[in-house]
Structure 1
Amino acid sequence: MKAIVYTKYGPPDVLQLKEVKKPAPKENEILIRVKATTVSVADIRARSFTVPLAFWLPARISLGFKQPKKEILGMELAGDVESVGKNVKKFKGGDQIFAASLKGFGAYAEYICLPEDGPVSIKPSSITYEEAAALPIGARTALHFLRKANIQKDQKVLVYGASGSVGSYAVQIAKYFGAQVTGVCSTANLEWVRSLGADEVIDYTKEDFSSKGESYDVIFETVGKSSFSACVKSLKKDGTYMNVTILLPGVRMLWTKFTSKRKFILAQNSPETSEALNFLKELVEKGKLKVIIDRHYLFEEIVEAHRYVEKGHKKGNVVINLEQNNKSLKV
């Protein structure tokens, strides 16, 4: 089968299209023919090994010190089940699925094997493979954090980075839970974020949200670009601060935690099960959650896709279509 492989860390050009051995499913696994995948910020960081300092050691252990342990990136996908292991009960050949492959990567390939009890679910019938591929990481992350914060009806939630993958899903899911949502984004994305359901939008290029005098029950930092001081200033005394980009708290955060009633929820992976995907599937089919795709690329254009995402200005998600390439790719 064909796959995008990288054998060293570096710029997008380290990604190469190669012929590799097609995997065979184990007793508890399903073999999936991948039809679409994505280029996420996590893929960019893994490929280039540009991770925050706090993540450096665990990332080296996980990804590899001198060179990548796992040569095929790709952390979310959609496709068709081609065959199943003898002990598989949940899925059968021909099922249309979407899945996260964050634990072992591997979605940048024509085929992948995943355990049936992992984060795999039947694809929402109302959307395309490309749209389904853009759900498992960003939407699942947003859902996981908002559940951790125990969002309640009419609470005030501020989402910083509301036009990104996690942020755009966070706006919609928080609204589904009944919150009053303020989205912070750039000028170009104000109306778009409002169309996702945000009650208010703030242009970070023109004003500091903390100068408005508003206080929030939850502040959700999804891109790591806000000031912690500004967030604390705008957070209610018993409010919750969430940040998907920080693994460990700094001195000021620890001090704030021990001298106030505020709660802090930092970077953490959601459980590797299908429960969240099943929930997201229902939201999509009810019309409560929209998948936003910024750009589409073919499999052979993945280097270009990485260059675009690396600029840090994507709106929603960037997807890779393998279906159009299955008969035409050359290595």
Structure 2
Amino acid sequence: MRAAVVVRYGPPEQVVVTDVRTPEPRPGEVLVRVEAAAVTAGDARLRAGRFPAGFGVLARLGVGLRGPRARILGGTLSGRIERVGRDVTRFSPGDLVAGMTGMRLGTHAEYATVRAASLVPKPAGVRHSDAAGVLFGGTTALWFLRQRARIRAGHRVLVNGASGAVGSSAVQIAAHLGATVTAVTSARNTAFVTGLGAHRVVDYTTTPVNRLDERFDIVFDAVGNISRAEGLRLLAPGGSLVLAVANLLDTLRARGPVLAGPARERAEDFGYLLDLVASGQFAPVTEVVGGLDRLPEAHRRVDTGRKVGNLVITPHSAAG
């Protein structure tokens, strides 16, 4: 099969498409023909060996010193089951599924093995590209807002970085759950985030977040440029500060009103998000950039920090 491989940390050109052996599903796993996979900020950080401040040495010890141990990146997918491993009774060949692979990665390829427990049926009315695109940002936003910050109707929520994969998901989930959302983004994205459910938009180029004199029940920083002190200053009494991209110090100090650390990948959350997409209550905001050969371009776009929504590749598309 064809797959995009990263041997050494570095620029987008380190992503090389080559032929590798098709994996075999182990007990509890299935082999999925990958119809679509997201290209995320997490993929770009891992490709570059670029980790939040303080995590550099620890991250490289965990994921690879000179390059990622999991050389095929990509953590979300939507596709069709080709084969099932021993002890898998929930799925059969031909089933359409979507899910995430965690630190195993491996979805930037024509086929990937995935734990059956990490997959859910793909709703018939949801495109593969939308199913793969929604999961990375959607699960992060859902975990922090619903499970950690305990969002409820009437909450005032500030989303910083509201146009990216995580931020656009946070805007929609907060609005869907009855919160009043203030979105921080550039002026050119005003109509976009308003359409997702933001009640108000703050243009960070003219009104930096640290100059806001309002208070919010939840401050959700999706990009990592609000300091802990700035975020706490913006909180109303009893509020929660979500640092979705936190440095090591802030992660270690995350207690009380400060929430940080990895978001859990839960199949029940995958199903919840996909049902919202299927019912028209959540816009996946996906752009298909092409096949595996377009991955370097997708990484370059992610590296700009100005990506809107989710970029998706379709591994079985023709080259070019």
Distance, in Å, in 2 between the alignment partners of 1:250 and 1:165 is 22
Query: Normalising by structure 1, what TM-score?
Result: 0.91
Distance 1:234 1:53, change over 3 A: closer
Letter of the 1:278 partner, please give it.
G
Which residue number in structure 1 is paired with residue 131 of structure 2? 132
Residues 64-119 of structure 1, C-alpha deviations (whole Å, 9 max, x = no match): 1133211111111111011111311111111111111222010111111111112x
Which residue number in structure 1 is paired with residue 271 of structure 2? 278
Is residue 2:104 matched to residue 1:104? Answer: yes
Distance 1:107 1:250, change over 3 A: closer
**Displacement of 1:212:** 4.2
Instruction: Using the TM superposition, name which of 129-138 and 220-229 deviates more.
Output: 220-229
Residues 217-265 of structure 1, C-alpha deviations (whole Å, 9 max, x = no match): 00000001234443222211221100111154449x95x97xxxx6110
Aligned positions of 1:1-331 closer than 5 A = 1-118=1-118, 120-147=119-146, 148-250=148-250, 263-270=257-264, 272-294=265-287, 296-325=289-318
**Displacement of 1:189:** 0.3
Determine helix, strand or coil for the equivalent of 2:103: coil
Distance 1:201 1:295, change over 3 A: farther
Determine helix, strand or coil for the equivalent of 1:188: helix
Letter of the 1:198 partner, please give it.
A
Asked if 2 retains the 8 angstrom alpha-carbon contact of 1:6 and 1:15, the reply is yes
Give % identity.
Answer: 34
**Displacement of 1:285:** 1.8
Distance 1:67 1:250, change over 3 A: closer
Residues 33-63 of structure 1, C-alpha deviations (whole Å, 9 max, x = no match): 0011121111111111011222223311221
Determine helix, strand or coil for the equivalent of 2:117: coil
- In structure 2, runs of 5+ residues without a counterpart are none
Letter of the 1:311 partner, please give it.
T
Determine helix, strand or coil for the equivalent of 2:102: coil
Moved over 3 A (4+): 209-212, 227-230, 247-251
Aligned length: 319
Residues 267-310 of structure 1, C-alpha deviations (whole Å, 9 max, x = no match): 2231x431110111221122211100245232211111111111
Letter of the 2:133 partner, please give it.
A
Determine helix, strand or coil for the equivalent of 2:152: coil
Distance, in Å, in 1 between the alignment partners of 2:287 and 2:63 is 28
**Displacement of 1:27:** 2.1
Distance, in Å, in 2 between the alignment partners of 1:210 and 1:294 is 32
- Cα-Cα RMSD: 2.0
